[in-house]
Amino acid sequence: MTNCIFCKIIAGEIPATIVARGAGMLAFEDVAPKADVHVLVVPERHIESFRDIETLTPDESKEMLGFVATTARGLGLEDYRVIVNTGPGGGQTVFHLHWHILAGNLPAFG
């Protein structure tokens, strides 16, 4: 999608620190980290939000979740938090589905 910052990162049109790539997914460091480790995982195909998750096939969904877990493992993490902000009221500011992987100095939640 032309005006999507994450599509531009995926296309290599704007720089990002890439952590992992594969299975139609890309992981890169958040430009403004909210924890010691803060990595974003995105599908290469533009999907606006988690609300649209059912546009993925069951296999794609499984691959995506596996990629999030594999990326965290590749970062050497055992304990971490995965967040998907959904819609403006849920804190979403970039409208390309992304999974936050956060670790270290995390505030208590829930």
Number of residues counted as binding ligand 5GP (CB under 6 A): 13
* 4 contact, one of Zn ion, ligand 5GP, none, CB 5-8 Å limit per kind: Zn ion
x/- track of binding to ligand 5GP for residues 31-70 (CB under 6 A): xx-------x------------------------------
Place of tokens 């938090």: 81
Query: Which alpha helices (H) appear in 1-107, and where do they start and end?
Result: 5-10, 58-74
Q: Which residues are bridge partners to 100 per DSSP?
A: 40, 83
Catalytic annotation present for 98? yes
Q: CB neighbours of 52 closer than 8 A, spacing ≥ 6?
A: 97
16 sits near ligand 5GP (criterion: CB under 6 A) = yes
Q: Which residues are bridge partners to 22 per DSSP?
A: 25
* 92 contact, one of Zn ion, ligand 5GP, none, CB 5-8 Å limit per kind: ligand 5GP
Active-site position among 38, 46, 98, 100: 98
**Residue 16 DSSP one-character state:** -
